[in-house]
Amino acid sequence: MTSTLTAGGLPNDHILDPSSIYPISSSGNNVILNDQDDESSNNNSTQRPLSFGRDMWEGFETLCKRTEVGLDQCKELLEFFKKRVAIEEKLSKNQISKFKLKDETDSFQRGFTCISMLSDAEANIHKSFSQNLLNNLCHPFTAFVKELESRRKKLVNDGQKLRNDYKDSLDAVRKGHQKYERLCRDIESAKMELISMIEKEGEQDGVGPSLKIQTIEKKVAKCESLALIAEQEYKDQIKETNEFIYGNYQSKMADNLNEFEQFELMRMQFIKSNIKNYMALMMEIPSSLEAELNNGCKQTDWIDPDLDLNTFIKTHQSQKKLPLPFQFEPYLESKIISLNQSNHIPQSPSPPTRSLKDNIIGFFNKSTAALARSIDDTNQLSISSNNISSPPILTPGAPSSPSKASIFGSDLEELMDAQKKQFPNETVPLILNSFIQTLLRLGALETEGIFRISPVHHSIQIEKQKLDQGGNLDHIDDPYLAATLFKHWLRDLPNPLISSAIYDEIIESPENSWKIIKNGIPLLHQKVLNYVIDFLVEFIEPEFIAKTKMDAHSLAIVVTPVFIRSNLSNPQQALENSKKEIKVIECMLVESFNNKKRRLARSTEDVEDNGQQEEEKENDQSSETLNNDNSNNNDGDDNQQLSSQQEQQQQSLSQTNQQPSRNHSTLSFATMTSDATNSDVVLVEGSSEDMISVTTSSSGEEIHEDEFTVVSPTSGQPTNKDRSIRNSNSST
């Protein structure tokens, strides 16, 4: 029987078991390399001693376990000897007589002196016995156990290395065969394509082959060249594997098994000799113990290491098995379709796929209402990026165009193109806004270990599949799951947010990260990166760090892999660069956080200055009013009315200068804010570096940044007031 490799290659499981790699012959017997057949082997088992190398070819794992148990037995015996030494030392101290002679003429005293001398003699016997046990048994036994441990470790490592080499050799043959098979299929596919092209164009008199045919012919020639190289590699690997299995592997594995056998013989013989030595030392104790000692010595002679090993081998006996030599199996070109045959190959229709726009529109159709409700649940926190407002509400009948993209694994440009028709004013993907709204709804800012703790892998894959099929995030109630999906979306982008083109520059100068990014990555990537970083900055507020246990450094560690991807193949260099990558993201977070704090501080100062100016102006007006009233001799009722007006004005000014309460909650990078009391929602547009959150006054005026133009929401016309004002809210 000859052994051949199947077209599907070698199986992955049980790779070390030749019976699972090679087929069974028609008679049902594997190829077994034995000196004699099974019947003669059974007969000879009673004539020759069994051995590990001949009769336990597949017993490496069993031998490893047996030797481990044997070492434990040696340690137990050594521990017994040490305890006996401690007992004998204690007995020797307790047997020493403390009797003091008081009267030499007293017979009782002389008799007691004899007993004391006998006790001292017995104490000396116990002391001598403990010293003999310690010097003749414990010390040599301890050194022997250490030597056994070292030798066993070497045997196990050598055997495991041989088994790994054997597995790698078989894997190499399997991979070589798969590569050869794949390239042959490529040749066949190219030839089929050539045949189809020739039949399609037809023969033209006086006209040479077309450019397409020439291109396909070159492709066929290239595939044939690669197939020849793969064929030679396949043959070389077969030869190398055969030489290894029947040479180095067979001899060294036999040597390893024989060394295991010598190891066990030496261990058991040493245990036997030490037990006999222990009995010999015990026999030196007075004759009252002689009978028991003789009996113990006889029982020790019952130990027969050879008989024990033969019994063990019979219990775990296995036959020596090696695969037949590998042979080259040529590729059969059975799938080539000739020119005379029909080139029509029926193809099954591909299943319909949902477009990217369908996914996004379906997503927001289902999630917009829930996101609107979630604003109140999260203290009306909402976010936006450059010129982006909250996601629009889609109608159920919104049109869509077919596409093969999905939410995960699609470029940012693909996502923007898919939503461009429905939402032309949006400058970042809508799915990004939805992720962040969901995290705020679930209280991610107060969730311990957010972005660090991940749910089970199965649930993540299920939710990713749902999103790709047009699902939404409304049903998700686990902030860890939402955060993990958010990271997966960023990680699965074909092009990372921080491009590899600026990788070397940015890791060497992390403090200039924002400047490098501004000139080094596409504008869309900049907008998305600013959007995400501004959101992450909220987590490093001290009040949220106390709850999430995630400071700027911890946050940078868990999110760096989704922003920066290294292409280094050197593990050591990649490890060193990973620290620099974390430093880049940490610097970006800290710089954005500091900019946010500076903006809030400036806005607070501006509001206070404006409040003081308004107060002085109102005081001047009040003084003029009082003077006019006094000069005109107004009655007391007018004066009382004026005082009441002054008090109301002062109360209004004091209320204006007060800091907003916690129920007025905004994000510093957001463009939408809402007051939990009487203020209206205001949309503010600006760059990502200068964004602030503002609210409308009670009169309903909309305030813009820098030189703000106050616009009345009722008339839509700007007022005559142009003033610089910033949000005085320092809370997040």
> Which segments within 569-717 are labelled E, that is strand?
672-673, 682-683, 708-711
pLDDT band per the 50, 70, 90 thresholds, residue 645 = low
Average per-residue pLDDT in the chain?
71
pLDDT for residue 404? 44
Instruction: Check: CB of residue 500 under 8 Å from CB of residue 470.
Output: no
pLDDT band per the 50, 70, 90 thresholds, residue 22 = very low
Percent of all residues in the chain with a pLDDT value above 90, rounded to a whole number = 30
Percent of all residues in the chain with a pLDDT value above 70, rounded to a whole number = 60
Residue 562 phi/psi, 5-degree rounding, is: -85, -15
**Rounded average pLDDT over 28-56:** 58
pLDDT band per the 50, 70, 90 thresholds, residue 181 = very high
pLDDT digit string, tens, across residues 528-543: 999 999 999 999 999 9
Between the CA of residue 270 and those of 145, 258, 277, 673, what are the distances in Å? 10, 18, 10, 84
What string of H, E and C letters represents the secondary structure of 285-311? CCHHHHHHHHHHHHHHHCCCHHHHHHH
Find, among 665, 696, 693, 661, the residue nearest to 678 by Cα: 696
Which domains, from first to last, does the chain contain?
24-38+54-315 (1.20.1270.60), 353-449+470-494 (no CATH), 663-732 (no CATH)
pLDDT band per the 50, 70, 90 thresholds, residue 158 = very high
User: Minimum mean pLDDT among 241-255, 297-311, 692-706: which range?
Assistant: 692-706
Tell me which of 92 and 387 has the higher pLDDT: 92
pLDDT digit string, tens, across residues 80-125: 999 989 998 888 888 766 656 555 555 555 555 666 776 777 778 8
pLDDT band per the 50, 70, 90 thresholds, residue 201 = confident
**Rounded average pLDDT over 176-191:** 92
pLDDT digit string, tens, across residues 55-64: 888 888 888 9
Beta bridge partner(s), residue 709: 722
Q: What pTM, to 2 d.p., does this model score?
A: 0.36
Q: Which token pair is 599?
A: 């903006």
Q: Measured on CA atoms in the order 230, 235, 239, 242, is the torsion positive or negative?
A: positive
pLDDT band per the 50, 70, 90 thresholds, residue 172 = very high
pLDDT digit string, tens, across residues 399-409: 333 344 588 99
User: Minimum mean pLDDT among 245-254, 292-301, 548-557, 648-657: which range?
Assistant: 648-657
pLDDT for residue 408? 92
Tell me which of 711 and 537 has the higher pLDDT: 537
Q: Within 10 Å of residue 225's Cβ, how many Cβ atoms?
A: 12
Tell me which of 282 and 464 has the higher pLDDT: 464
Cα separation, 599 vs 727, whole angstroms: 9
Element (H, E) at 274: helix 250-282
pLDDT for residue 98? 60
pLDDT band per the 50, 70, 90 thresholds, residue 309 = confident
Cα separation, 613 vs 603, whole angstroms: 15
pLDDT for residue 528? 94
Residue 600 has pLDDT above 50, yes or no: yes
Q: Which token pair is 88?
A: 């004998």
Residue 175 has pLDDT above 60, yes or no: yes
Find, among 256, 263, 257, 275, the residue nearest to 68 by Cα: 263
Instruction: Say how far residue 100 (Cα) sits from the centre of its chain.
Output: 78
Q: Residue 296: CB partners within 8 Å, gap ≥ 6?
A: 279, 282
Q: What is the DSSP string of 170-186?
A: HHHHHHHHHHHHHHHHH
pLDDT band per the 50, 70, 90 thresholds, residue 447 = very high
pLDDT for residue 478? 93
pLDDT for residue 632? 47
pLDDT digit string, tens, across residues 472-531: 899 999 999 999 999 999 999 999 999 888 998 999 999 999 999 988 899 999 999 999
**Rounded average pLDDT over 455-469:** 91
Find, among 512, 458, 433, 448, the residue nearest to 479 by Cα: 448
Q: Residue 454: CB partners within 8 Å, gap ≥ 6?
A: 460, 480, 484
Residue 431 has pLDDT above 70, yes or no: yes
